[in-house]
Amino acid sequence: MISYVPYSDDLEVEQPDEQSKIADILRYLGIAHERAIAARRHAPGETHAKGHGVLKGTFTVEPELPEELAQSLFAAPGTYPAVLRFATEAGTLMDDREPAARGLAMKLIGVDGEKMAADGRLTQDFLCNNCPILPLAEVTTYREIARLRAEYGHDPAQLAAEIAKRDDADVQTLFERLPNIDLLAHSYYSQSAFRYGDYVCKYALMPNTEAQRALAARPVTDDDRPDVLSEWLAEFLADNDAGFDFCIQLLTDPETMPIEDASVEWDVGKSAWRRVGTLSLPAQNPFTPARRAFGDEVLGFDPWAGRPDLRPLGSINRVRKPAYRASSRRRHEYNDRAGFEPISIGDVPD
Ligand code: HEM
């Protein structure tokens, strides 16, 4: 019989010199962000600069879940309007023909109850990338990589040479070897651990229609255009619906499924992915000028925005708390454009 590890505050372990490493990481991120802003005279997010589309959908909590899955937001059946943004992970505007990590951020609207930030929001954010692990791992590794990016980010060849010298170069370059396929055909993962009510999980969004999964057979090639991913997304959604299963993997063994190291994939043999919700995306145009501008300039996602019983865990998530706020503040100030948190799905333009 599988036993699920109960959530407790002492599952998280502060890393050696964590506060000073977090301060260094924030300083390095600021250097890279300000360089990207100066190059464009426009401020994207510190990461996920290139948006590929903003989508509206409906999220339905799976009915009749067993006790270990019927937690937090998933404790009672319900439906929520959802807004999503697809983006490429880099902090610069990459050509879509280059393989890279792709992100999918989802915001549920109309979520009542206590929130981690007492800012009156009615939203719950979930942020994922299309790789089960995060090579940055924890604050010690991340500090080293953030320093290299701050120092050599203006010179991609030199940055690659510096990363190649590392013992973990294979892991640090993993995103460059991800399949370069249609955005609707990837699975997207939280990579890091989260509280899940009385338990602990990682979460993921997995494509749930045959037509989406079939898109994986068509990789991006050098003959495609630099913005092919937005074009394919708009083409498919012009006359097809799409959808994702929202799945979680519960923590069953803290030794081999660490919370404090996001570079370790949790073994599905020890704990399978299980569906707790479904996201339906009706046919729509995800890349109108109004949606693109809303996604790139106005909307913001933050793993620390939402319910305390879904709070992020581990040092890689502890550094995200100040990092998202600093990035958001910097881009909204520079672009002279206020951020805005949707209250209803009508706030998201068509
Ligand atoms: C742990 C796994 C992580 C995942 C799955 C993830 C995912 C994402 C996604 C999907 C976005 C784009 C949101 C959008 O479309 O607007 C994003 C943005 C961002 N991420 Fe992460 N991320 C992770 C780790 C980190 C870490 C370790 C940092 C740095 C401390 C970080 C810093 C940021 C920042 C600064 C933004 C832009 C925020 C803004 O300007 O509004 N992320 N992340």
Which domain CATH number covers 229?
A: 2.40.180.10
Tell me, using a 6 A CB cutoff, whether residue 83 lines ligand 1: no
262 Cβ below 6 A of ligand 1: yes
Q: What is the pLDDT of residue 317?
A: 98
Q: Judge whether 207 and 323 are in contact, CB under 8 Å.
A: no
User: In the block, which residue shows the tokens 């990459």?
Assistant: 94
pLDDT band at 119 (very low <50, low <70, confident <90, very high): confident
Closest C-alpha to ligand 1, atom 36: 47
Is 344 part of a structural domain of the chain?
Answer: no
Count of domains for the chain: 1
* Residue 47: partners with Cβ closer than 8 Å, 6 or more residues away: 89, 90, 91, 103, 327
Q: 5: pLDDT confidence band, cut at 50, 70 and 90?
A: very high
What are 233-285's pLDDT values in tens digits? Answer: 999 999 999 999 999 999 999 999 999 999 999 999 999 999 999 999 999 99
- CA atoms within 13 Å, Cβ hemisphere of 149: 26
Beta carbons of 322 and 267 less than 8 angstroms apart: no
User: Whole-angstrom Cα distance, residue 164 to residue 173?
Assistant: 9
Q: Is 331 in the pocket of ligand 1 (CB under 6 A)?
A: yes
Is residue 140 assigned to a domain?
A: yes
Which phi and psi angles does 190 have, rounded to 5°? -70, -15
Determine, yes or no, domain membership for 345: no
Which pTM value belongs to this model?
0.97
What amino acid occupies position 13? V
Whether 147 is in a domain gets the answer yes
User: Would the CB of 105 count as within 6 Å of ligand 1?
Assistant: yes
**From ligand 1's centre to the CA of 165, what distance in Å?**
26
* Per-residue pLDDT at 135: 98
Q: Where does residue 97 rank: exposed (0-12), middle (13-18), buried (19+ CB within 10 A)?
A: middle
CA 225 vs. chain centroid, Å, equals: 25
The verdict on residue 343 lying in a domain is: no
Range of the domain at 113: 9-334
Does any domain span residue 4?
no
Residue 350 within any structural domain of the chain? no
- Give CA–CA dist 198/15, Å, rounded: 24
Res 118: pLDDT: 81
Residue nearest to atom 40 of ligand 1 (CA): 45
Expressed in angstroms and rounded, the spacing between residue 28 Cα and the centre of ligand 1 is 15
Label residue 240 exposed, middle or buried (CB < 10 Å: 0-12, 13-18, 19+). middle
Report how far residue 344's alpha carbon sits from residue 246's, in angstroms, rounded to the nearest whole number.
21
Q: Is the C-beta atom of 301 inside 6 A of ligand 1?
A: yes
What would you report as the CA-atom Rg of the chain, rounded to the nearest whole angstrom?
Answer: 19
Give the mutation target among 287, 318, 320 for probing the ligand 1 site: most ligand atoms within 8 A of CB. 320
Give domain status of residue 339, yes or no: no
As a whole number, the mean pLDDT across the chain is: 97
DSSP per-residue letters across 18-75 = HHHHHHHHHHHHHHHHHHHHHHHTS---SS--EEEEEEEEEEEEPSS--TTTS-GGGS
Are residues 110 and 306 in contact, defined by beta-carbon separation less than 8 angstroms?
A: no
| Residue owning the nearest CA to atom 2 of ligand 1 | 191
- Asked if 306 contacts 124 with a C-beta cutoff of 8 angstroms, the reply is yes
Q: Residue 150 has what pLDDT?
A: 97
Atom of ligand 1 nearest to the CA of 189: 5
What local confidence, expressed as pLDDT, does residue 181 receive? 98
pLDDT given at position 1: 80
Q: Is the pLDDT of residue 293 over 90?
A: yes
Q: How far apart are CA 48 and CA 101, in angstroms?
A: 9
Answer yes or no: is the C-beta of 141 below 6 A from any ligand 1 atom. Answer: no
High-pLDDT (> 90) share of the chain, %: 97
Q: Is 323 in the pocket of ligand 1 (CB under 6 A)?
A: yes
- For residue 1, how far is its CA from the centre of ligand 1 (angstroms)? 36
pLDDT tens-place string over residues 156-197: 999 999 999 999 999 999 999 999 999 999 999 999 999 999
Strand (E) or helix (H) holding 233: helix 228-239
